[in-house]
Structure 1
């Protein structure tokens, strides 16, 4: 009996391991599936934006940026598929190993159980059992022998049930393996298709770059205007921040307080801390969109040797879209800056969010703003089929990367 127990314990442990491993794989695969769905949704949106852009027959840097965004999403999709493939291969390998172990242990279990059945068959008569009990030296021994016979019978039944359960687990695992192999076949086909799409898009990107390089002087002229508009907006933001800091310090001084940096009321401090605690969870400034220009310094996508510096991020969206607030706050300023359209600045305690490229605004200076509240209609540049919002986030006089503050899709 003890030999049989020693055989059963490894089987139980193995079954538990299989179930735990299966749950871990299922969770990881689910995460990858969700990531793939989000990337495919992003690619579909970018295709829609490109279709709008290509209504204008003239090639533009905006079209190139959207295509680069789609290529980036496609590359991430293929990377996710590769991760899923490695996970599936590992799952197949583990399943084969577990099945082999289960088959071996089950064979041993059946062999030992056969010995029990054979022993029970040889001593199946009630007379033999009674003689075994009556041959006891005393009442205590007779009682122990009676309990042994009862427990042995129950144990034999429980082990038969355990064999049936183990056999069912084995069959289920074999079915899972078959299904996983089918999933792998589909995944290989999908990955190959995405690689072909990526190759086509990269060739298209190279073709657009070559054609745009023939318009170097025009692109430099556009860049010069854009840089001039950017400098005007940065100066306007700095003036507003400096003025707000000056007023806050004067108010603090009148109340008998001295403070460096940006003095805040308890309400403003609470708002500032709440904004900071939501880093990475803030809503996007548009309902749907793709990031087409990143924060910081980057080489120009066409002009060799030229580095552009972006104080925020640019998010392309669909025609007629509105810009919305990423958090509760108070409107610090509404300005018109040539090249940037109408600009709305919203104060969130020590933080400031800036929204550009609007043709119409719905708010005024001093208005209290709720999270996701519409701020204005985004410009749709005539002849360019281009609609985007430019988002900046400042803390004091320091520019922050909005990508790390808004929700990561």
Structure 2
């Protein structure tokens, strides 16, 4: 009985670990495929921009992003190989165990057959039964012969089953070894490509260093334009906040006057109402409060503003040569003429045209999402939009399709990467 329980426990642990390994392998494969799609997108855009003889900041960011993605892919392949090594080790041990069990079973079965052959002449079945002293003993001998025959058949079937298990595990083990060999070749291929990209990165940075003055001038022009646009965006948000605050103040003052009049009529102390201060942003309606709550509830799972893309520049302060600048959002490199989508339900509050590009602001209660570098908009101010609704088409910047995506809580810029899904 204890042996059976132990066998069941071993089987449970073995099959449980096999299922976990399969699940882990499937997830690693999914991650690797997703990384490869991102790498392919960057490579495709780089090929289109290859005719541009002038080095651009976009090219530098794309190369850096591609190198990071390839390093991530190598890490995923390493995890796949480690996962396979565990499976190979487990399956090798299982094959050895099954071979040992099968050998022991065959040995025991052979002894059983030899015993039956030696005693077949001396103990003829019928004589064995008729030699019984009474009916009860004869019945027991019949049952014994039946059980002995059934046990032999059961052992033969058990041996056959063990042989099938062994053959299956050998096939699985061979498959594991082939998969590992393929992964090692894939890893070597990615490492070779990574080496070439690092060499290209070194050449690009060297060129940038030699011509830094020219690039610094271009960067300064771009930075000033972006700073002007950011000021315009923040001013638009500030006007909305001031408007909502004024509404909230007026509502509080009206409630205060009504409460004072009622208290005076009832000869009671006049209550002191809390009037919103200019330092706070108050959602003036239940609808906008609900929208803010819904937006916050989807933190980390908001959809991307484009169906496919790579973040080539992250949120925060960046340094190029001696120049420093701040990105209030993230720069996303995407596909040619990609559709830009709203990341959450909201209302379009601004459609700004700046330097032949379109910027769209969408309000989500206390939050705003900003979509920059669009060549066209398919929504207008005052339109209500839903999650993933198309709002425009991305434009090219420096021969590369890319957009700027920002999230604000009031006037405070948020890091979009902590809000959108990690795909």
TM-score range for the pair, normalised by the shorter chain length: 0.7 to 0.9
What pairs up with 1:212-361 in 2 under 5 angstroms?
Answer: 212-232=208-228, 233-234=230-231, 235-247=234-246, 249-250=248-249, 252-253=251-252, 256=255, 261-298=281-318, 300=319, 302-304=320-322, 306-337=323-354, 341-361=357-377
Structure 2 residue aligned with 1:43: 39
1:118 deviates by 3.5
Could you tell me whether the CA contact under 8 Å between 1:353 and 1:391 is conserved in 2? yes
2:241 touches 2:281 (CA, 8 Å); kept in 1? Answer: no
CA gap 1:155/1:354 in 2 versus in 1, 3 angstroms: same
- Matching residue of 1:115: 111
In 1, Cα distance between equivalents of 2:377 and 2:145: 89
Q: Please, what TM-score do these two structures have when normalized by structure 1?
A: 0.86
Aligned partners of 2:128 and 2:289: how far apart in 1?
85
Alignment equivalent of 2:382, drawn from 366, 374, 381: 366
Q: How far does residue 143 in structure 1 lie from its aligned partner after superposition? A: 5.5
Q: Greater CA deviation, 367-376 or 316-325?
A: 316-325
Give the stretch that moved more between structures: 119-128 or 76-85: 119-128
Maintained 8 Å contact 1:312/1:401: yes
Cα distance, 1:312–1:135 mapped onto 2, change above 3 Å: farther
Q: CA deviation at 1:370?
A: 1.7
Q: CA distance change for structure 1 residues 277 and 160 in 2, over 3 Å: closer, same or farther?
A: farther
Give yes or no for the alignment of 1:57 onto 2:53.
yes
TM-score (normalizing by structure 2): 0.83
**Distance in 1 separating the partners of 2:247 and 2:88:** 64
C-alpha distance in 2 between matches for 1:70 and 1:83 = 20
Q: Write the deviation string for residues 17-73 of structure 1: whole angstroms up to 9, x where unpaired.
A: 544333322222111111111111111111111122222121111111111111111
The structure that has the greater radius of gyration is: 2
- C-alpha contact 1:313 1:392 (8 A) present in aligned 2: yes
User: RMSD across aligned C-alpha pairs, in angstroms?
Assistant: 2.9
1:258-316 CA-to-partner distances (Å, cap 9, x unmatched) read: 66643253333333333233233322212322211111233x2x414x44322110011
- Comparing 230-239 with 310-319, greater Cα deviation is found at 230-239
**Alpha-carbon deviation of 1:213?**
1.6
Which residue in 1 is equivalent to 2:404? 390
Tell me how far apart the structure 2 counterparts of residues 269 and 142 of structure 1 sit (CA, whole Å): 89
What is the total number of aligned residue pairs between the two structures?
Answer: 396
State which drifts further: 368-377 or 241-250: 241-250
- Where 1:54 maps in the other structure, the secondary structure is helix
How far residue 318 of structure 1 moved from its aligned partner, in angstroms, is: 3.0
- Residues 244 and 390 of structure 1: CA distance in aligned 2, closer, same or farther (over 3 Å): farther
Structure 2 contact 336–401 (Cα < 8 Å) conserved: yes
Instruction: Supply the distance in 2 between the matched residues of 1:110 and 1:135 (Cα, whole angstroms).
Output: 36
Structure 1 residues 92 and 53, CA, compared in 2 at 3 Å: closer, same or farther?
A: same
Gapped regions of structure 2 (runs ≥ 5): 256-272
Residue 105 of structure 1 and its aligned partner are, at CA, apart by 1.8
Question: What is aligned with 1:34?
Answer: 30
